[in-house]
Amino acid sequence: MDKRMVDFIRALRAAGVRISLAESQDAMYGTQLIGLSQEGHFRSTLKSTLVKENRDHHLFDYFYPLFFSSNTPPMQNIPDNLTQEEQQLLQQALRSLAGQMQALKQLLDQLLNGRPFSQDQLDQMGQQAGLDGMDDMRQRPWMERRMQTLAGLRQLQQMLDQLIEQLKEMGMSDEKAAELRQMMQENMNALSDQISNYAGLSMAERMAEQDPQPQPDLMDVPLQQLSQEEIDDVRAEVRRLAARLRSRASLRQKRAKDGTPDPRRTMRHNMRYLGVPLELKHRKRHVKPALLLICDLSTSMRPYVEFLLTLVYELQDVVKSTHSFIFISDMVDISMAFKENDAQTAIAHVMVENPPGYYSTDLGNSLNTFKRDHMGLITGKTTVIILGDGRNNHNDPRVDIAQEMQRKSRRLIWFNPEYPGTWGTGDSDMLQYAACSHGVYHVATLRDLANAVDQVLVDG
């Protein structure tokens, strides 16, 4: 039993559940006290000691029956539920179909008499199906289907339908035939479940034999490669990251409130006093930036937009002002959503109002709308940040508008998640946009995005 417990814990770890050594010991001690007499209490003890986060509950529920069930399903002995006359009809029907199901005779006999697969049968099917060496639970459904085919369950399903029809033709009532079909189907489902549990347990045991792979730092994983669970983790990390950036920016602004001493300017200015520093000169004060965000909300860019907006709007006390726009085929002003709601609610609202789909990105048309309706927002103190991959579906990129925005603003900066080697390929107009920008940041990961935002705050 101790080995089964250890394998179960190792399998959970391999699946991504964080379990410490102390928690493993707690599970061992707890189950020793509870014992196996009350299965429900045993299961609850394991779950309460090993699972800490809601997102891991489904993993526990998935692996628990693989390790702690007998894999001997309850099956009915069907002839015991039939009268003598009905048994004779069944035997006659079986003889009439004997030529078609010679290869399935043993399986049919197990099905009718309610005998589960033996361990030798399961091992043989697993070996024939190539189960040895399988340790990726994503391949479990495919392996189950392969073993069911080798066992003959799929062919037997067709044979059962023929058998029931034959019994009806021989005089069995529809009601009794339906009852017989249900009993046989339940037995077949039990055999199918037995194969499923065997395949799952075999793969889980191989997972347990391997050392858990170190989890990558989500800060350094490209956002497009994150799973939905990892994206949920990153959402929490973004808020913590924003708090750190806010503290750093506030400290810089506090230190620069009166400007930091400038030795070079001080010495030059005090040459009249024979170099005695009677008058101190200071560097330029750090000022809060005024931001204008323009974000590509096409399907591939959505995670980047969500996290950039979260970072920026969690930092509102260290920026002067923020105006935000999104675009796919046209420009949309979303600033009001952030004025009426907190950052998380506003971002969720924007994502729901602009769902993913198959859209034709047109930055050129979006820039034209921006010029017509919103160009007055850009002043000499505005830092414009455009988040996008620069792909424009071969539409007019309207580089002239981007150049005008650069001239009118303090800075125009691009955040692009694509690797620079892909810029200018296919429908990418990024090289043209880069030429009329003050700088381009490659922001494939959350760390890249945070560093880019921090640099914007540093330069003020």
Q: Could you tell me the CA-to-CA distances from 343 to 239, 335, 347, 402 in Å, in that order?
A: 10, 11, 6, 28
Cβ pair 453, 311 in contact under 8 A: yes
Residues 50, 103 within the same domain: no
pLDDT number for residue 262: 78
Residues 345, 450 within the same domain: yes
Q: Quote the CA–CA distance of 89 and 393 in Å, as a whole number.
A: 70
Residues 310, 442 within the same domain: yes
Report yes or no on 219 lying in a domain: no
Report yes or no on 239 lying in a domain: yes
Averaged pLDDT, 242-269: 71
What mean pLDDT, rounded, does the chain reach? Answer: 83
pLDDT number for residue 402: 94
Residues 306, 274 within the same domain: no
Q: How many domains does the chain have?
A: 4
Q: Which two tokens stand for residue 406?
A: 């650069």
Q: Poorest-confidence range of 22-31, 116-125, 139-148, 153-162? A: 153-162
Residue span of the structural domain in which 276 resides: 261-285
Task: Tell whether the model's pLDDT for residue 106 goes beyond 60.
Answer: yes
Residues 30, 93 within the same domain: no
Q: Which two tokens stand for residue 303?
A: 């995670």
Among residues of the chain, what percentage have pLDDT more than 70? 91
Q: Poorest-confidence range of 21-25, 363-367, 427-431? A: 21-25
pLDDT number for residue 287: 65
Averaged pLDDT, 367-377: 94
| Cβ neighbours of 399 (radius 10 Å) | 15
Residues 6 or more apart in contact with residue 434 via CB below 8 angstroms: 390, 414, 423, 440
Cβ pair 181, 93 in contact under 8 A: no
Task: Tell whether the model's pLDDT for residue 252 goes beyond 90.
Answer: no
Please give the span between the terminal C-alpha atoms of the chain, in angstroms, as a whole number.
Answer: 63
pLDDT number for residue 372: 94
Residues 121, 188 within the same domain: yes
Task: Tell whether the model's pLDDT for residue 413 goes beyond 80.
Answer: yes
Task: Tell whether the model's pLDDT for residue 100 goes beyond 70.
Answer: no
Cβ pair 385, 293 in contact under 8 A: yes
Q: Which two tokens stand for residue 97?
A: 């179909």
Q: Which two tokens stand for residue 232?
A: 């949920």
Task: Tell whether the model's pLDDT for residue 441 goes beyond 90.
Answer: yes
Report yes or no on 213 lying in a domain: no
pLDDT number for residue 93: 72
Q: Quote the CA–CA distance of 348 and 367 in Å, as a whole number.
A: 25
Report yes or no on 218 lying in a domain: no
Torsion of CA 153, 155, 158, 162, to 10 degrees: -110
Q: Which two tokens stand for residue 113?
A: 């008499």
pTM of the model: 0.57
The H-or-E segment that residue 141 falls in is helix 140-151
